[in-house]
């Protein structure tokens, strides 16, 4: 019971952090899109929205973990909660794939990028992404072999979903996604290296002719770096949970549910907290917008303090002394 309560406290803290940090990034991305109207920023916004929904979805699980009573959430409600958690997690992973493909397309086809990736295409990609995500999340509710035959509570992932579902997700989604990530990263790194070599040749020719130096492809390397960090974060967060779930399917006598639910699942969900931190640090648009938001909040607090100070009369000032000239009339002097 004490272990369940401790897990509930950790889950509650993680939930608050995920919702708060991602909501802050959502506001920053909305302001950046309003100012710059960038298609690529919409994908980052969608990632923050998906991670926020993960925090909202797991917030319902905190009650079961912190509850001291023996009455837990019903199986149907628990299945719906876990379906929403899985759908939001799938949307987050698919959005990372979409961001990687967007950066890959921008480097691979820089001249045709804005013709291919316009607002209509980006909207269609995001809509299709959410459709596939909810299809994945609610798949166990329609496929009996992905459901547990018994339910004892409290509401956890493996209390309602069978490890076969994890095996299917790993083989059909996770490992192909990782291979696709690696392909995108290697190809982008190769293209960025070729660009760098070409520009060095131009610099050498320009130096011989006394011309100006062309700019280096800094944006290409930044895109490769950001995608690499996202791939690493995604892989390190979810691979232990999925691989251990596969081991649980292969070894029926092994009892790995405690490790899966208490530690590894929590590590995977924690990826939703890492994603906004990565973008807040590495992406210039998000970093600048958060800085401007912080300045705005600081100015707002300063204005409120000035208004309160003025309302209370402000600091007490020293009273000015007034001098009055008194005229004294004397009859002798007047005469």
Strand partners of residue 147: 161
pLDDT per residue as tens digits for the range 5-51: 787 788 889 999 999 999 998 988 888 888 776 677 888 889 999 99
Mean pLDDT value across the chain:
80
Alpha carbon separation from 112 to 107, 124, 168, 215, 220 (Å, rounded): 10, 19, 37, 21, 16
**Is 64:73 a contact under the CB 8 Å cutoff?**
yes
Q: What is the pLDDT of residue 204?
A: 67
Q: How confident is the model at residue 334 (pLDDT cuts 50, 70, 90)?
A: very low
Alpha carbon separation from 258 to 3, 156, 244, 265 (Å, rounded): 11, 10, 11, 10
Please tell me the distance from the alpha carbon of residue 273 to that of residue 279, in angstroms, as a whole number.
Answer: 11
Q: How confident is the model at residue 184 (pLDDT cuts 50, 70, 90)?
A: confident
Please tell me the distance from the alpha carbon of residue 270 to that of residue 233, in angstroms, as a whole number.
Answer: 10
Alpha carbon separation from 188 to 98, 193, 202, 219, 315 (Å, rounded): 15, 8, 21, 12, 62
Helix (H, G, I), strand (E, B) or coil at 162: coil
Residues of the chain with pLDDT > 90: what percent?
Answer: 19
Range from 131-135, 148-152, 153-157 that averages highest in pLDDT: 131-135
Please tell me the distance from the alpha carbon of residue 309 to that of residue 57, in angstroms, as a whole number.
Answer: 43
Statement: residue 328 has pLDDT above 90: no
| Helix 2-36 vs helix 271-282: crossing angle, to nearest 10 | 30
Query: Minimum mean pLDDT among 183-197, 277-291, 316-330: which range?
Result: 316-330
């Amino acid at each position: 019971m004490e272990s369940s309560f401790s897990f509930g406290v950790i889950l509650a803290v993680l939930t608050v952090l995920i919702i708060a940090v991602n909501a802050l990034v959502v506001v920053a991305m909305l302001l950046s899109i309003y100012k710059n109207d960038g298609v690529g920023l919409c994908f980052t916004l969608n990632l923050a929205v998906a991670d926020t929904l993960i925090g909202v979805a797991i917030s319902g699980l905190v009650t079961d973990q912190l509850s001291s009573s023996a009455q837990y959430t019903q199986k149907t409600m628990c299945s719906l909660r876990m379906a929403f958690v899985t759908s939001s997690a799938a949307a987050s992973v698919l959005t990372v794939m979409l961001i990687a493909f967007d950066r890959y397309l921008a480097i691979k086809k820089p001249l045709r990028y804005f013709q291919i990736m316009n607002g209509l295409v980006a909207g269609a990609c995001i809509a299709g992404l959410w459709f596939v995500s909810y299809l994945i999340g609610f798949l166990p509710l329609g496929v009996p072999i992905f459901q547990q035959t018994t339910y004892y509570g409290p509401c956890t992932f493996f209390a309602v979903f069978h490890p076969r579902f994890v095996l299917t997700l790993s083989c059909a989604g996770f490992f192909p996604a990782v291979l696709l990530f690696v392909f995108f990263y290697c190809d982008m790194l190769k293209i960025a290296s070729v660009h760098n070599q070409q520009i060095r040749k131009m610099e050498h020719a320009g130096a011989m002719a006394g011309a100006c130096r062309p700019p280096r492809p800094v944006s290409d390397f930044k895109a490769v770096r950001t995608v690499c960090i996202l791939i690493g974060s995604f892989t390190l967060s979810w691979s232990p949970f999925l691989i251990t779930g596969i081991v649980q399917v292969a070894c029926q006598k092994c009892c790995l549910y405690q490790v899966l639910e208490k530690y590894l699942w929590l590590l995977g969900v924690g990826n939703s907290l890492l994603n906004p931190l990565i973008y807040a640090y590495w992406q210039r648009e998000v970093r600048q917008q958060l800085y401007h938001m912080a300045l705005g909040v600081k100015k707002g607090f300063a204005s409120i303090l000035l208004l309160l100070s003025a309302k209370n009369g402000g600091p007490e000032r020293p009273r000015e002394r007034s001098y009055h000239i008194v005229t004294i009339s004397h009859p002798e002097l007047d005469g």
